[in-house]
A and B are shown apart, each in its own frame.
Chain A
Amino acid sequence: MKSALEAIRAAAHEQLQNTADLKDLEEIRIKFLGKKGELTAILKQMGKLTPEERPVMGQLANEVRAFIEEELATRQKALQEAATKEKLRQETLDVTMPGKTRSLGHKHPLTLVLDEVKEIFIGMGFDIVQGPEVELDYYNFEALNLPKDHPARDTQDTFYITDNILLRTQTSPMQVRTMEQRKPPLRIIAPGRVYRSDAVDATHSPVFHQIEGLVVDKGITMADLKGCLEAIVKRLYGQDAVVRFRPHHFPFTEPSAEVDIQCFGCHGEGCRLCKGEGWIEILGCGMVHPKVLSNCGIDPEVYSGFAFGIGLERLVMGRYSIDDLRLFYENDLRFLEQF
């Protein structure tokens, strides 16, 4: 009986080693360990053994069963791993083939950059306000210290609807509208469309966008204007942007300035990009004119403030090196999809 058990152990071992298929393993298990299997058959003969032999043979039989079970498990695991491996091998993809995309829309580049500007200002505590594009002469000119006979009020540039109604030539009327509606402290930007009677070419459009800004509070200084705008310019153009404030004239600010950044192309030496000037003008600004504050019912002896206006198109053109303003309004998808 012992030899029969040993034979079973050997036969099982050999068969298991020679098996390459998971299905065969089950057959082997049944053949040796099943109810009608060889080991079971042997165990049924235990009754014929002497009481002394029984525990010995019993233990041996258990050993053989355990051995076969373990071998079975090991073999099954190995075969399963091989099978999995083979399956995965067969499923190999050419991962360099293109992905399946869903087409997403593209924000217009003007909106893209404007949204960035809004985020910067929101972060600095500014609110965003909007107002009419078809505007009263009063808000566009008169309240901004540009009376009817003012020389800066070159009517050639203004689209008029009636004597008193026009298409706003700047977002500055929003300074007045805001100051009429709210009381200081004020921090607002007013982005929007403006209109000038310029024929369309690569750098001119009768419609374009400005971002007006206004800060009014007690004790606002020109140093605050410089600090605020320099911070914004550096956020927009990079921390290494070189900024200068150059005296200028706007009827509704005093003192007034234009802000230039040093040309990235030539670092101030003068090149084609900056038309030889070394600097590129990016915005106009100034301390709010006392007359404008008074016009809006704010006492210039108590409050001061600054205002600025940024041309959005120029900002975006500089950012992406776009050389033709018309592209913004042609809306060709081959252009829009680049952003």
Chain B
Amino acid sequence: MDLSMRWLKDYVDVDLPPRAFCEGMTMSGSKVEGYEMEGAEISNVVVGQVLEMERHPDSDHLWVCKVDVGGEAPIQIITGAQNVHVGDYVPAALHNSTLPGGVKIKKGKLRGLESNGMLCSLGELGLTKHDFPYAIEDGIFILGEDCTLVPGTPICPAIGLDDMKVEFEITSNRPDCLSIIGLAREAAATFDRPLKVEAPVVKGCGGDIHDYLSVEVLNGELCQRYMAGVVKNVKIGPSPRWMRERLRACGVRPISNIVDITNYVMLEYGQPMHAFDLENVRDHKIIVRNAKEGETIVTLDDVERKLSPEMLVIGDSTAPSAIAGVMGSEMSGINDNTHTIVFESACFKGSSVRLTAKKVGLRTEASARYEKGLDPNTCPIALARACQLVEQLGIGEVVGGVIDVNNNTKEPVKIPLDAGWMNRFLGIDIPESQMVEILRKLEIPVENGMVIAPSFRADLESKADVAEEIARIYGYNNIPTTSLTGLAEGSYTPRQQFDRKIHSTLLALGLSEIITYSFISPRLYDKILMPADSPLRNSVTIRNPLGEDTSIMRTTALPSMLDILARNYNNRNPQARLYEIATEYLPTQPDQLPVEKPDVVLGMYGKEEDFFTLKGAVENLLSQLGVSGCEYVPCKDEPAYHPGRCAKLVLNGKEVGILGEIHPQAASNFGIDTRVYVAQLDGDALFEAHSTEKKYHPLPKFPASTRDVAVTCDEELPVAEIEKVIRANTGRLLEKLELFDVYRGSQIPQGKKSVAYSLVLRAADRTLTVEECDRMMNNIFSGLESIGGEIRK
């Protein structure tokens, strides 16, 4: 909402510096977004009178003018415009003047003759024909009688371009503040000045409106009040300058007097008004009804719009002439031949206007006010104001009487004023009389201990609402600050501690954390080679996404990680070790919330990375988390992964993760042409399996025996099988098992490999004998032979 300070001063005396005014209003709840002096960019431009004109000797279009600019002698200005005549008053930009858009004017020579400035057009002053309808746009602005015609007067005050505009951010609960009077009321309460609002008075020309017009409201729920007034012998023309400039300062384009009056009243009282030609109302009967199926309307902006039955329209027995509260039709509009008009001042249900405006895709100044819920009691005042302005401007005769179909049955809300509660709730200590006084300033009466919410304040429903009124005028910053009392213990839950452990471990392992969007493009499933029939393709889908790229909630965080790895790779970061605790969204039943499942994703590339650095990080992580007993089972059929370099993580027979090199095709789909390694671990499953318990084992008292075993076996035999044999035959006596060599090549047959382990054997309660160790080793040897191994001695 843009406020004209000049207009505001009609209703409340505020003579504060702009900054102090804005600060005060902001702190009492009407937030100022900014303020601006009109014409602030214009300097050193004055009213000039053209005294003499002659043709430039070297030009067939330039004029050499002698212009009185209020100085001792006239100055010479050359202009190329053809609409200037001797005696005209014009805006004259003097030497070293500035114009909107940072334009600077200096004296200079035009074809050899000196020009000491420039005569200005409307556009050069930042104005349009709407501001001065009598001026032309492609010539010099010839000032009219409504300007100060004294040479030397600075141009801005001379043409009324010197109002201050203040831009407010009005919250949705205060539609009453979308008006000059509403803001004046706030300003009066804020700065403790009297509010000077008088009820408009209409003289009228006699007659009875019912002879001209009838109104029938068919839907009283959506149309809470419909009022109409009739003005005859209307003289359509431009409105006076004061009205035009106030509209302009509030950001509304002046059009013609009747239309301008409707906008003026809307800005002043916050009540949208509509004016239409009585001749366009068939049978002179207005019917307020729901639209019919298939009905259309061409709105004032020349667009044909489809209507549907839940929408309310203003019409007659044949066609709709306006979408209620949104916009009128082209047919009903005012034109130069209009001689009898109807002013509509009505109140429509906010939610209906909001949905209608949204559905037809048209949000207007009127709908923006209606949708927040307006006060039906403003309708008669606004209608009277419009008629008063008609009489004041002398542009028509107001027919006696009004039509008022009032379906409003709302009783005023009454809220007890409990001063004790109020003080306790706000943490202040002020007497009840001060509360009453604050409310009085806001025009909220208190009678017999009851706060009576005015009808323009539909937001006041409970005592907390009254508390806010008192608090904001008392001043939020005058409320003391106190500390919370009472003991309270805050702590991290086990799950939160678990997550913190994941972060700290992965950070220590050199992985950096990433945070990615939770929604992705369905095409990313193709990129990770997800089979067409995979259940993971069934995603939670956003009905109104910004675009396809962010249209579904991911069921796997793998593409997010690959996307970030690709970005880093393409930004030429030579290596990357990343992780994310990413949420995945798995649909359940329609109309049920999905399962939100945390996935711990690790991703790496770079010359130091391979499958085993990734696996090492996973092992480190699991060990720190206290998750033991995981098996790594080769996995050849996960499409996103390299079939020979991928393992599933299995814990107690349940799959809890996957890790491996990304399939080169998938990597390439993301634009990565290097090897990429990713692990995805099920956060919930790991949490279930984890343990924070630490167990102390006494340091060994007896010596250990170290033995090596080397075995030649089939290339395909996983070393995990060899380890199983070793562990099975040593049990708790095996303190440490280390794979120290895997060899292929000469001395080893094709298709075979040699695997060498070092074992540390120790008993806690005695020194192992050579015989014991030998026995165990022999058992290992025969065990390995039974799975096809050949012991190398």
Q: How far is the CB of A319 from chain B (nearest CB, A)?
A: 16
| B351 located at the interface, meaning its Cβ lies under 8 Å from any Cβ of chain A in the complex | yes
The answer to whether B482 touches A330 (Cβ under 8 A) is no
Please pick, from A107, A148, A161, the residue contacting B513 in the complex, using a CB distance under 8 A. Answer: A107
Question: Cα distance A33–B28 when bound, in Å?
Answer: 105
Report chain B residues within 8 Å CB of A64.
Answer: none
Q: Are B467 and A255 in contact (CB under 8 A)?
A: yes
Judge whether B515 and A248 touch: CB under 8 Å: no
CB of A240 to closest CB in B, whole Å = 16
- In the complex, chain A residues whose CB is within 8 Å of the CB of B512: 105-108, 333, 336-337
Q: Which residues of B contact A123 (CB under 8 A)?
A: 490
Q: Are A155 and B482 closer than 8 Å at their CB atoms?
A: no
Interface check A133, CB cutoff 8 A: yes
Residues of B within 8 A of A127 (CB): 490-491, 493
Q: Which 4 A-B pairs have the closest CB atoms?
A: A223-B427, A125-B488, A149-B351, A221-B427
Quick check: B514 and A334 within 8 Å, CB to CB? no
Contact of B427 among A121, A124, A151, A222 (CB under 8 A): A222
Min CB gap B178→A, angstroms: 12
Contact of A128 with B513 at beta-carbon distance under 8 Å, contacts A221-B425, A254-B464, A254-B465 already known: no
Which residues from chain B contact A256 at a C-beta distance below 8 Å? 468
> A84 CB to closest chain B CB, in angstroms?
35
Given contact pairs A151-B350, A255-B471, a sample of 20 additional A-B residue pairs in the complex whose CB atoms are under 8 Å apart: A104-B510, A105-B513, A123-B490, A124-B484, A126-B490, A134-B594, A151-B351, A151-B371, A219-B424, A223-B428, A224-B483, A248-B171, A249-B174, A255-B467, A255-B476, A289-B464, A329-B515, A334-B571, A336-B514, A337-B512
Query: Is the Cβ of A193 less than 8 Å from the Cβ of B518?
Result: yes
Across the interface, which residues of A come within 8 angstroms of B373, CB to CB? 151
Stretch at the interface among A5-13, A48-56, A67-75, A225-233: A225-233
Q: Inside 8 A of B596's CB, which chain A residues have their CB?
A: 132-134
CA distance A328 to B31 in the complex (A): 31
Q: Determine whether the beta carbon of B476 is less than 8 Å from that of A246.
A: yes
Count of A-B residue pairs with CB < 8 Å: 239
Is residue A185 contacting chain B, with contact meaning CB distance below 8 A? yes
Instruction: For the complex, give the distance between the alpha carbons of A224 and B425 in Å.
Output: 10
Residue B696, interface by CB 8 Å: no
A185 touches B425 (CB 8 A): no
Flag the segment in B142-150, B192-200, B542-550 that touches A.
B542-550
In the complex, the answer to whether B515 meets A111 with C-beta atoms within 8 Å is yes
Contact among B26, B428, B472, B513 with A108 in the assembled complex (CB-CB below 8 Å): B513
A-side contacts of B350, CB under 8 Å? 149, 151
Q: Which residues of B contact A244 (CB under 8 A)?
A: 27, 476-477
State which residues 725-759 of B face A: CB under 8 Å: none
Of the candidate stretches B88-96, B440-448, B500-508, B624-632, the one touching chain A is: B500-508
A221 touches B482 (CB 8 A): yes
Q: What are some 28 contacts across the A-B interface (CB < 8 A)?
A: A102-B510, A103-B510, A105-B507, A124-B484, A127-B491, A128-B490, A128-B492, A132-B593, A151-B172, A151-B350, A151-B373, A159-B544, A162-B590, A185-B486, A199-B546, A206-B550, A221-B426, A223-B427, A224-B484, A227-B484, A246-B31, A246-B476, A290-B462, A331-B516, A331-B568, A332-B567, A333-B568, A334-B571
- Encode contact with A along B508-531: 1 for CB under 8 Å, 0 otherwise: 111111111111000000000000
Q: Among the interface residues B482, B489, B571, which one has the most CB atoms of the partner chain A within 10 A?
A: B482
Residue A122 CB within 8 A of the other chain? yes
Partner of B484, one of A133, A215, A246: A215
Within 8 A of A (CB), among B385-428: 424-428
Q: Does A167 contact B (CB under 8 A)?
A: yes
Closest to A334 in B: B573
Shortest beta-carbon distance from A245 to chain B in Å: 4
Chain A: number of interface residues, binned into ranges: 35 or more
Q: How far apart are the CA atoms of A125 and B425 in the complex, in Å? A: 22
Q: Would you call A178 an interface residue if the criterion is a C-beta within 8 Å of the partner chain's C-beta atoms?
A: no
* Contact pattern, A 208-244, Cβ under 8 Å of B = 1, otherwise 0: 0000000101011111101110110000000000001
**Distance from A199 Cβ to chain B, minimum over Cβ atoms (Å):** 6
Asked if B358 is at the interface (CB within 8 A of a chain A CB), the reply is yes
- The answer to the question of A276 belonging to the interface, with a C-beta cut-off of 8 Å to chain B, is yes
Q: Does A187 contact B (CB under 8 A)?
A: yes
CB of A151 within 8 A of CB of B468, answer no
Q: How far is the CA of A246 from the CA of B541 in the complex (A)?
A: 39
Return the chain A residue nearest B472 by Cβ.
A247
Q: Contacts of B488 on A, CB cut-off 8 Å?
A: 124-126, 185, 187
Residues of A within 8 A of B487 (CB): 125
B562 at the interface (CB under 8 A from A): no
Determine whether the beta carbon of B515 is less than 8 Å from that of A149.
no
Please, which residues of chain A bring their CB within 8 A of the CB of B490? Answer: 121-128, 187
Does A160 reach chain B (CB closer than 8 Å)?
Answer: yes
Kindly list chain B residues whose C-beta atoms are within 8 Å of the C-beta of A105.
506-513, 577, 579
Nearest Cβ on chain B to A223's Cβ, whole angstroms: 3
A287 within 8 A of B: yes
| A328 with B515, Cβ < 8 A, contacts A160-B543, A221-B426, A230-B481 known | yes
The answer to whether B544 and A160 have CB atoms under 8 Å apart is yes
- The secondary structure that dominates the A interface is mixed
Residue A197 is within 8 A (CB to CB) of chain B in the complex: yes
Q: Does A207 contact B (CB under 8 A)?
A: yes
Give Cα A172 to B786, complex, Å.
Answer: 64
- Residue B278 lies at the interface, judged by CB distance under 8 Å to chain A: no
CB distance from A111 to the nearest CB of B (A): 6
B381 within 8 Å of A by Cβ? no
Determine if A254 and B468 form an interchain contact, defined as CB atoms under 8 angstroms apart: yes
A247 engages B28 (CB within 8 Å): yes
Q: Tell me the residues in window 430-485 of chain B with beta carbons closer than 8 Å to chain A beta carbons.
A: 462-465, 467-468, 471-472, 476-477, 479-484
For chain B residues 566-611, which have a beta carbon within 8 Å of chain A? 567-568, 571, 573, 576-579, 583, 585, 590-591, 593-594, 596
Residue of A nearest to B35 (CB): A276
Decide: B591 and A162 in contact? CB cutoff 8 A. yes
Whether a CB of chain A sits under 8 angstroms from the CB of B319 is no
List, in ascending order, chain B residues with CB within 8 A of A107's CB: 503, 507, 512-513
Q: Which residues of B contact A245 (CB under 8 A)?
A: 476-477, 479
In the complex the two chains form, is A160's CB within 8 Å of B542's CB? yes
Q: Is B274 an interface residue (CB 8 A)?
A: no
Chain A contacts of B34 at CB under 8 A? 276-277
Q: How far is the CA of A287 from the CA of B471 in the complex (A)?
A: 12
Determine if B427 and A248 form an interchain contact, defined as CB atoms under 8 angstroms apart. no
Shortest Cβ distance from B496 into A: residue: A128
Q: Is A135 an interface residue (CB 8 A)?
A: yes
A220 to B467, CA, bound (A): 14
Residues of B within 8 A of A217 (CB): 486
Q: Does chain B have a CB within 8 A of A171?
A: no
What residue of chain A has the Cβ atom nearest to residue B358's Cβ?
A155
Q: Which residues of A contact B471 (CB under 8 A)?
A: 222, 247, 255
Partner of A246, one of B26, B486, B518, B585: B26
**Interface membership of chain A positions 92-131, coded 1 if the CB is closer than 8 angstroms to chain B and 0 otherwise:** 0000000000111111101100000000011111111000
Q: Does A3 contact B (CB under 8 A)?
A: no
Closest A residue by C-beta to B468: A255
B372 within 8 A of A: yes
**Alpha-carbon separation in the docked complex, A39 to B34 (Å):** 108
> In the bound complex, how far is the Cα of B594 from the Cα of A136, in angstroms?
11
Closest Cβ neighbor of B608 among chain A residues: A103
Q: A197 to B544, alpha carbons, bound, how many Å?
A: 9
- B553 contacts the other chain (CB 8 A): yes
At the interface, yes or no: A304 with Cβ under 8 Å from chain B? Answer: yes
Q: In the complex, what distance in Å separates the CA atom of A166 from the CA atom of B396?
A: 54
Query: Does A152 reach chain B (CB closer than 8 Å)?
Result: yes
Per the bound structure, the CA–CA distance linking A123 and B488 in Å amounts to 9
A297-331 interface mask toward B, CB cutoff 8 Å, 1 = contact, 0 = none? 00000001000000000000000000000001111
B244 in contact (CB, < 8 A): no
